[in-house]
Amino acid sequence: MGILSIVATPIGNVGDLSMRAIEVLKRADVICAEDTRHTRPLLERVGAGGARLVAVHAHNERDKAPDIAALLEAGQKVCFVSDAGCPGISDPGGRIVEAVVALGHTVEVIPGPSALTAALMGAGVDIAKLAFLGFLPRKGKERERLVRHAIDVGLAVVVYEAANRTDELLEDLFAWCGPRRVVVARELTKLHETFHRGVLGGTLTPPLVDKGEVVVVVEGGDVVAHDTAPLDVTALANDASLSPKERARRLAQAQGISVREAYARLQQAQGKSDVAEVRRALSLAAEAAVALLSADDTARAARQGAADPSEAAGSDIPGADALLRLLARPSSLAAPVEAAEAARALLGAVSALDALLEAIDADADE
Ligand code: SAM
């Protein structure tokens, strides 16, 4: 039985390839690489360019296992490397290890650089217990569910992302995690390595750059104080420059609540509770019903002689004149009785709703 060596390679700085990794790669007969064109220059640079290269990637990983097993059985020294960092960490490797072990072989690991550990080393926030989520799904409920579960149990969250998608990711993380400390580790081990530090919902220092690769670390534990002024909900609720949808979206994000809940809170801040809204609708409906009843009578009078139906109406009930004009039109003349019946039904509904409101009020008082 043979040994398959799983070898970590640099994530940006060639100097990070360990002495042990170089030795193992130099002695290898076959090196399985995620992308042979990518790996060849690295091997040549460290004097390990003698091995035969075989492409093993996410799409053929499992299928290649019998070939690798055959090489190991033939006594060949075989290594596996991914494009950068540790194989198996958001990279191919895991399936090949599983399959080769199942075929009776052994694996050894040659640990080394990984964006995950490098980001954690420089994060400087509470990462005592953490959830590494790799690349989050781009869309859908699972994206949110994964993060919320981890945060709910006090874990720090670590996520891989491309730099140009980081803003969107940070917005989502703020909506789900609230104002926690966050670190965006960019271009680790490279010339432009930068740790952007801040609080979710606030600003990051220095500002993010849209290029490169990043690891995002959100601290675990309790929510910390926000480093920006807290959101003034009343001011937001009354900010006429924003659409109601945008106001709700901002509040939802700031408070880590659903947009539906945000709508309700904004209404409350405007002094418009649901009950107040129902009351307003009720009084409008009652007014309309009374106007309909009155218009029905006055329409009859109008049809019986008045030249100008609005003179015949003389009603001080809001809306009655408009209804009267409507009912006095020839096309509406046929329906005065139905209008009166509709008005009575409407009044019935109004009093039923009123009773319901009384019950709600009584519940609230208890
Ligand atoms: N197996 C690799 C490891 O051990 O880190 C990760 C490979 S994964 C396909 C690539 C992702 O890792 C990138 O999108 C980025 O999130 C992160 N990454 C890789 N190199 C990085 C670097 N130098 N700086 C920051 N993040 C990096």
Mean confidence (pLDDT) of the chain: 84
pLDDT bracket for residue 275 (50, 70, 90): low
**Most confident residue range from 166-180, 242-256, 348-362:** 166-180
* Secondary structure tally for the chain: helices H, strands E: 14, 11
Higher pLDDT, 236 or 131: 131
Strands 30-33 and 52-55, sheet pairing: parallel
Span from the CA of 100 to the centroid of ligand 1 (angstroms): 25
pLDDT tens for 190-246 read 999 999 999 998 888 888 888 999 999 999 986 544 444 567 888 888 888 888 888
The whole-number average pLDDT for the span 80-101 is: 96
pLDDT bracket for residue 321 (50, 70, 90): low
Which ligand 1 atom sits nearest the alpha carbon of residue 159? 16
pLDDT bracket for residue 312 (50, 70, 90): very low
User: Do 267 and 273 contact (CB within 8 A), yes or no?
Assistant: yes
Span from the CA of 243 to the centroid of ligand 1 (angstroms): 39
**How much is the pLDDT for 289?**
72
**How much is the pLDDT for 250?**
81
How far CA 186 is from CA of 59, 96, 131, 309, in Å, comes to 28, 29, 19, 77
Tell me: pLDDT of 40 over 90.
yes
Tell me: pLDDT of 298 over 80.
no
Tell me: pLDDT of 332 over 60.
no
Q: Give the 3-state secondary structure of residue 273.
A: coil
Which ligand 1 atom sits nearest the alpha carbon of residue 160? 16
The whole-number average pLDDT for the span 45-74 is: 94
What burial letters (b/e) apply to 20-44, b meaning 16+ CB within 10 Å?
ebbebbeebebbbbbebeebeebbe
The whole-number average pLDDT for the span 299-310 is: 55
pLDDT bracket for residue 290 (50, 70, 90): confident
The whole-number average pLDDT for the span 3-21 is: 97
- Which residue among 170, 213, 214, 217 has the greatest number of ligand 1 atoms within 8 angstroms of its CB, and so is best to mutate? 213
Give CA–CA dist 38/52, Å, rounded. 14
**How much is the pLDDT for 296?**
65
Which residue is associated with the tokens 């990518």? 38
The whole-number average pLDDT for the span 84-97 is: 96
Span from the CA of 90 to the centroid of ligand 1 (angstroms): 8
Q: Which of 22-26, 28-32, 138-142, 361-365 has the lowest mean pLDDT?
A: 361-365
Q: Which of 20-29, 130-139, 292-301, 304-313 has the lowest mean pLDDT?
A: 304-313
Tokens of 319: 């809306």
* Cβ < 6 A, ligand 1 pocket: 11-12, 82, 84-86, 89-91, 114-116, 160-162, 185-190, 213-215
- Which residue among 11, 97, 187 has the greatest number of ligand 1 atoms within 8 angstroms of its CB, and so is best to mutate? 11
- pTM for this structure? 0.65
Span from the CA of 85 to the centroid of ligand 1 (angstroms): 7
